[in-house]
Structure 1
């Protein structure tokens, strides 16, 4: 095989999106990671078989730099995200190291209007998990955000939160091949 043919074959391989079966496998693993994180943190924080009630979810555990209250549900969410990200690293990135990014930060390209990688926080988008073409994080295939609902209402309907809907709308601007989704321990993969 001459150099040009090898280069073309290599370029084609690097631009490869995941097959539907691989996306389904990754979605299954993401749900398992969310369930594992929810279970581990609840067991560690509350004891065997226990979880926070609504009162505990809204317990103020501190204040942010602007003096706004930080609720226990936000603190638990951070703890659960850390456990889930470790699981995603171990279970998903091990299998698909060049097609999965954890918490990439995207801005908008001034020339194309499409996504671009950025370190700028203001106005950027930082989904939890992004599936993309092999080695090409700007060729977005699917966007996922992990959600760990705390209250009974949010566990029953995790998409009812206006903030979640607005977030999914913003992630749709990344122009992925599939609709953005949230992953919850209770419902698995949810898309609007």
Structure 2
């Protein structure tokens, strides 16, 4: 104790005895394990979701604007977004006859922009609790999932929130969609294949409903 201030002084490394030093190390190890498995609180998750929704909306707006500027001042007939005919326009055709439509190309660009935004804005506060496009496969031995590099029968959601530094201890799963066609913009969860995809992703986590995030906001599976 500091005689003049009454302040308790923590022992320095040089004053620690062997037993005390072992106790301190054990406490630090336990703290590390607790941190490793910590899930986000409800308030933290709400804040994170707000950032993600902003990133998705911003990616949608930025890519639409930039695409028009970088293509000789080309303008979508709808102004800020393409109409159905423009969505179906083939913008790339490979020698193997595989085609890429404008809708697909914009979707790829917007996902990339959203991922970059999310990594930039979440890394400082939530860097240990999220993964972008992790790939999972079932692990019957542990009745859970493991990370994998294999494609067949694996699941690759856009964003996973998980326990600190443990991507297989999944808390919540999010999928991004950037609908191009009008009917899909109005009801993105009813676009072909989306509900099945989200249902499959729900198998990854039982803590919260898998959620679809589009430029107009967040929608959870099963909520109309």
Give the TM-score range, shorter chain: over 0.9
- Measure, in 2, the Cα distance between the counterparts of 1:124 and 1:115: 10
For 1:72, the equivalent position in structure 2 comes to 102
The range that moved more, 173-182 or 116-125, is: 173-182
- Change over 3 Å in CA distance of 1:43–1:92 after alignment to 2: same
- Change over 3 Å in CA distance of 1:139–1:55 after alignment to 2: same
For 1:182, the equivalent position in structure 2 comes to 212
- Change over 3 Å in CA distance of 1:41–1:23 after alignment to 2: same
Alignment match of 1:58 (pick from 76, 88, 93):
88
8 Å contact kept, 1:114–1:175: no
For 2:3, the equivalent position in structure 1 comes to none
Q: TM-score, normalised by structure 2?
A: 0.80
The reply to whether residue 20 of structure 1 matches residue 42 of structure 2 is yes
- Measure, in 2, the Cα distance between the counterparts of 1:23 and 1:189: 13
- Measure, in 1, the Cα distance between the counterparts of 2:27 and 2:42: 27
The Cα shift of 1:114 comes to 1.0
- Superposed, 1:32-51 pairs within 5 Å as 32-46=54-68, 50-51=80-81
Larger Rg: 2
RCO (CA 8 Å, sep 6+): is it higher in 1 or 2? 1
The reply to whether residue 191 of structure 1 matches residue 220 of structure 2 is yes
- Measure, in 2, the Cα distance between the counterparts of 1:86 and 1:154: 25
For 1:82, the equivalent position in structure 2 comes to 112
Structure 2: stretches of 5+ with no match in the other structure: 1-19, 70-74
The reply to whether residue 123 of structure 1 matches residue 153 of structure 2 is yes
Matched residue count? 191
The Cα shift of 1:50 comes to 2.3
The range that moved more, 109-118 or 58-67, is: 58-67
The Cα shift of 1:133 comes to 0.3
Q: TM-score, normalised by structure 1?
A: 0.92
- Superposed, 1:127-138 pairs within 5 Å as 127-138=157-168
8 Å contact kept, 1:34–1:183: yes
The range that moved more, 36-45 or 170-179, is: 170-179
8 Å contact kept, 1:143–1:176: no
For 2:174, the equivalent position in structure 1 comes to 144
The range that moved more, 105-114 or 24-33, is: 105-114
The Cα shift of 1:126 comes to 0.7
The reply to whether residue 99 of structure 1 matches residue 94 of structure 2 is no
